[in-house]
Amino acid sequence: MLKNLFSQGKIGTMETKNRIVMTAMGNYLANTDGTVSEEDIAFYSARAKGGIGTIITECAIVEDLRGKGNTHQITVSHDKFILGLRKLADAIHKYHSKIVVQIYHPGRQGISAINQNLPMLAPSAIECNAVHQPVTTMTTEEISDMVERFIQAAVRLKEAGIDGVEVHGAHGYLINEFLSPYTNERTDKYGGSFENRMRFLEEIIVGIRERCGKDYPLLVRLSVDEFLGVIGLPGKGLQLEDSVKIAKRLEALGVDALDVSSGIYESMNVAWEPSSFQQGWKIHLSETIKKSVNISVIGVAVIRDPEYAEQILAEGKVDFVGSARQHYADAEWSSKAKEGRTDEIRKCISCLHCMETLSSTDMTSTPCQCGINIEAGKELEYSNLREDGEGKTVAIIGAGPAGLEAARILAKRKYKPIVFEKNDKIGGQLQYANKPPKKDKINWLIDYLRVQVEKLGVEIRLNTPATIEELKALDPYAVFIAHGSNPVLPKSISGIDGDEVLSSIDILSGNKELIGKKVAVIGSGMTGIETAHLLAEDGNEVSIFEMADNIGPGLYFQNLIDVMGHIEKLGVQIYPKHKLTSIKDGNVIFEVMEGGEKKEFNFDNIVISIGTQSNDELVAEIKSNFENVKLLGDAKKVGKIRDAIEAGYVNAFTL
């Protein structure tokens, strides 16, 4: 059925067993000295074992002084790194997969604090508005030195037995900065004309070809459209027509494949997309490049479904199908697709938890985390799943993500999990999280968990609240409490019990439908903003009130930018620094946080979305009746999807 996806491919002289490519993405697993770690090897090996044809590693450092992107990054700046790279290559080759190492320099997007506190190198001293680091213009001598460092890195990779090298010319890093008129304002031979802006990359490519030979597979990653229009700069920077010229020139220079992407840090959401972006949204970029060259093209576009991957291959839009986050979410995506087990794939839901951990840990030792796959980056820690449950019963209260993940792992360990769920469907809070506009990918997670517990034979008792009597009848070895949380409705606010006052759950659950009303949403966490989005799309006049200085306090900036862009188009009004004090007959009184001024508004309905609190129902009684009791997810501490799934996984793994 997926004959194109699993047909052999070729990139230069490199023959691949299929058309699946894991594209480069940081994992923060390397040792602090830049050597390949055992965790690195386990991470990439799991994905090779899972059937990926070609793995492109995270971007590797070529220059030590100002070339780091984070503190745990593979390095190829010295011969001493060859041994570890060879060990990595050998591990991947055991599974008949190919491994390519991506080499790069962060340029103006690097962090000075982890680069000797020096200003970052760039073609021109133009600060990046996303990271705000000091930048200095490279001299021609520094450019020549950098070219040589890229070339030497490629030579080391070949010596290490790495199957190919990918030169990172995308996502706003140093090479991209030379290519783009947005970041290159030089007036010498490295700036100005198209030919001059190409020169830095050309010298690297020519040098690699001369030193590594014409047969060594050489790939280049490009942001073929920087999409600067999304930051108010339409017509600026690299656009698709420019990149067609770049692609043709690279083909003429002997490049074997083009890895097509988009965006820079300042337009980050088109490079690493939030959940609102649909599968295939930018495949036209790869298709256009493919039509302009005769070398292999790798395409990325939020590709999650094997059937869609097959379709774009069959239609000739790409030669290879690329994804990074999907292979974080499920290391076995490839083998499940090949074996016809597509219903078992854990699809990436584009929650961006991975990007949040990467962005927040540039200077720490925390590895990248996946929001839904706890094993990602911890393959060694969770490599030995014991099957020692001996059929012992574990009662689980709640069929949300924490309870279902616990049931999945317990069943694999040969326990007998029995899940009590008071509602008529599984999913818990996920059944609310999937209701706002553009959040349909949440259903993928619900479907994955449903399929897993069904295939493992887990008993789920829907419409069945857990009681002490029923739990005692099971004589359980352990009881896992995962019954979630309830909305916070502060009784201290006068009028909070009025008929016009609702919770965000009332809206998201469908218990209350509002159309054509004037509505205030109190609280601008993600639930509040997304509830406002849903209400606005239903034709309501919506205002969001937040007592903090800014909307969305504590939210990851990519997700916030994305959803704010949608609600602004719908005319949602925003009121930061407004504290709700009282409600009466639709009249809502706020205190302005600066100065204490009182302001009155009138609304048909007020929707409270200021968070949730752990559901403590039956907890004390259960603890007094059973010895081995575990609190999971929101039942213990309110958190995100990752927190719930991790609690379920870890408690089941360690029981």
Active-site positions? 173
Query: How many alpha carbons lie under 13 Å from residue 318 in its C-beta half-sphere?
Result: 30
The answer to whether the beta carbons of residues 353 and 376 sit under 8 Å apart is: no
CA distances from 634 to 53, 273, 400, 490, 526 (A): 39, 27, 10, 19, 16
**Dist. CA 441–CA 422, nearest whole Å:** 24
Give the single-character DSSP code of 519: E
Q: Strand 629-631 relative to strand 257-261: parallel, antiparallel, unpaired?
A: unpaired
User: What is 425-492 written as a DSSP string?
Assistant: SS-TTHHHHTSSTT-TTHHHHHHHHHHHHHHTT-EEETT----HHHHHHH--SEEEE---EEE---TT
The answer to whether the beta carbons of residues 315 and 324 sit under 8 Å apart is: no
**Dist. CA 190–CA 200, nearest whole Å:** 7
The answer to whether the beta carbons of residues 104 and 60 sit under 8 Å apart is: yes
Query: How many alpha carbons lie under 13 Å from residue 405 in its C-beta half-sphere?
Result: 26
The answer to whether the beta carbons of residues 250 and 258 sit under 8 Å apart is: yes
Q: Strand 20-22 relative to strand 320-323: parallel, antiparallel, unpaired?
A: parallel
Q: Report the 10 Å Cβ neighbour count for 49.
A: 18
For 597, the enclosing helix (H) or strand (E) is: none
Alpha-carbon torsion, ordered 579, 584, 587, 593, to 10 deg: -10
One-letter amino acid of 53: G
Q: In terms of C-beta distances under 8 Å and separation of at least 24 residues, what long-range contacts does 134-137 make, across chains too?
A: 135/108, 137/186
**Dist. CA 133–CA 186, nearest whole Å:** 20
Q: Burial code of 77-87, b = ≥16 C-beta within 10 A, e = fewer?
A: beeebbebbbb
One-letter amino acid of 653: F
Burial class (CB in 10 A: 0-12, 13-18, 19+), 321: buried
Give the single-character DSSP code of 494: B
Beta pairing partners, 75:
61
The answer to whether the beta carbons of residues 121 and 136 sit under 8 Å apart is: yes
Residue from 340, 196, 322 nearest 261 by CA: 322
**Dist. CA 51–CA 34, nearest whole Å:** 27
One-letter amino acid of 443: N
The residue behind tokens 């706890």 is 374
Cα R_g (the chain), whole angstroms: 27
**Dist. CA 474–CA 476, nearest whole Å:** 5
